[in-house]
């Protein structure tokens, strides 16, 4: 499977999808730094629809809430292409996940309404998608045959500070159920390094991390996902079920 990243906005506890501190070089305004979720995109897709359970640790320095070390939010994304896995994004009318209607943002990308942080996305359950249809896409309804993966969680050994000049190992507590693969990410906000491996740990070499810049607003992520496809009116649509763990890090 060929993978790329959509800029999928994640609603975090701050209400504005932000990191809590500026980067080390002072170039970033924390109010403008968004967190995105890595979503695999097959090379033959006419559309990709993703249901995501996103876990995010609270950044260092954030006031702690007793009994709430991290947060889980539901995120939905859908993109439909004017040509197979390319061209511009097109509007296909109303799109809903589990009866929650998505909204369009710039460029006809669909995401969940910012006020809908719970979309009935539950581990071990299927997801229900509906598309009204427009711009060459037929309307359809689909219930995923594959179930949502269990929540993926980084191991406690994953540090809040990493060095881009040395090998970095990321680990998870376990590989969740209902998973096709794990996608691992290290990013400085501009440059991103990824690996796919259905294992409990992966190591990024210093050479692989060589393009990362020093920053206090870096992020490491692991996405546990499965996918399936269906064809409607000659258009091949992929359905992604995914859980993501994200950890804010300082990159030296």
Q: Hey, where are the domains in the chain? A: 30-151+227-251
How is residue 34 written in tokens?
A: 């968004």
Average pLDDT over residues 132-153: 97
- Percentage of the chain lying above the pLDDT 70 cut: 80
pLDDT given at position 71: 80
- Determine how β-strand 181-187 pairs with β-strand 140-143: unpaired
Average pLDDT over residues 99-110: 93
**Cα–Cα distance list, 239 to 23, 50, 90, 137 (Å):** 35, 6, 17, 16
Signed CA dihedral, 227, 126, 175, 210: sign only = positive
Distance CA 94, CA 134 (A): 9
Q: Identify the bridge partners of residue 4 per DSSP, sorted by sequence position.
A: none
Cβ-based burial of 195 (10 A; exposed 0-12, middle 13-18, buried ≥19): middle
Distance CA 211, CA 101 (A): 39
pLDDT given at position 8: 35
User: Which of 29-38, 62-71, 72-81, 121-130 is predicted with the least confidence, judged by mean pLDDT?
Assistant: 29-38
Cβ-based burial of 228 (10 A; exposed 0-12, middle 13-18, buried ≥19): middle
**Cα–Cα distance list, 76 to 16, 53, 244 (Å):** 17, 9, 13
Q: Which residue did the predictor score with more confidence, 188 or 39? A: 188
105 pLDDT above the threshold of 80: yes
Residue 73 near residue 56 (C-beta atoms within 8 A): yes
- Kindly report, residue by residue over 107-134, the tens digit of the pLDDT: 899 999 988 889 999 999 999 999 999 9
Q: Which run of H or of E encompasses 201?
A: strand 201-204
Average pLDDT over residues 93-110: 95
- Kindly report, residue by residue over 172-196, the tens digit of the pLDDT: 999 999 999 999 999 999 999 999 9
* pLDDT confidence tier of residue 57, bands split at 50, 70 and 90: low
**Cα–Cα distance list, 113 to 139, 152, 224, 225 (Å):** 21, 24, 23, 22
pLDDT given at position 9: 33
SS3 13: coil
Average pLDDT over residues 204-209: 97
Q: Which residue did the predictor score with more confidence, 53 or 8? A: 53
Q: Which residue did the predictor score with more confidence, 87 or 171? A: 171
How is residue 233 written in tokens?
A: 């009116």
* pLDDT confidence tier of residue 209, bands split at 50, 70 and 90: very high
User: Which of 9-13, 111-115, 208-212 is predicted with the least confidence, judged by mean pLDDT?
Assistant: 9-13
pTM of the model: 0.82
- Kindly report, residue by residue over 87-96, the tens digit of the pLDDT: 899 999 999 9
């Amino acid at each position: 499977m060929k993978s790329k990243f959509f800029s999928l906005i994640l609603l975090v506890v701050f209400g504005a999808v932000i990191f809590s501190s500026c980067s080390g070089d002072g170039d970033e305004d924390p109010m403008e730094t968004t967190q995105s979720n890595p979503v695999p995109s097959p090379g033959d897709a006419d559309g990709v629809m993703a249901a995501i359970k996103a876990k995010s640790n609270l950044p260092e320095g954030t006031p702690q809430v007793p009994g709430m070390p991290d947060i889980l939010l539901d995120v939905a994304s859908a993109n439909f292409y004017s040509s197979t896995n390319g061209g511009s994004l097109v509007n296909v009318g109303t799109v809903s996940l589990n009866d929650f209607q998505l909204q369009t943002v710039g460029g006809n990308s669909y995401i969940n309404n910012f006020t809908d942080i719970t979309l009935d996305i539950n581990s071990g359950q299927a997801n229900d998608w509906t598309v009204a249809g427009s711009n060459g896409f037929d309307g359809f309804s689909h219930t995923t045959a594959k179930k949502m993966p269990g929540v993926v969680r980084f191991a406690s050994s994953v540090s809040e500070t990493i060095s881009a000049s040395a090998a970095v190992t990321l680990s998870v507590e376990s590989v969740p159920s209902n998973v096709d693969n794990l996608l691992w990410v290290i990013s400085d906000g501009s440059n991103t390094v990824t690996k796919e491996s259905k294992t409990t740990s992966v190591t990024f070499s210093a050479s692989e991390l060589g393009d990362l810049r020093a920053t206090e607003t870096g992020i490491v992520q692991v996405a546990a996902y499965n996918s399936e496809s269906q064809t409607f009116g000659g258009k091949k649509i992929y359905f992604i079920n995914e859980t993501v763990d994200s950890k804010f890090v300082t990159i030296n």
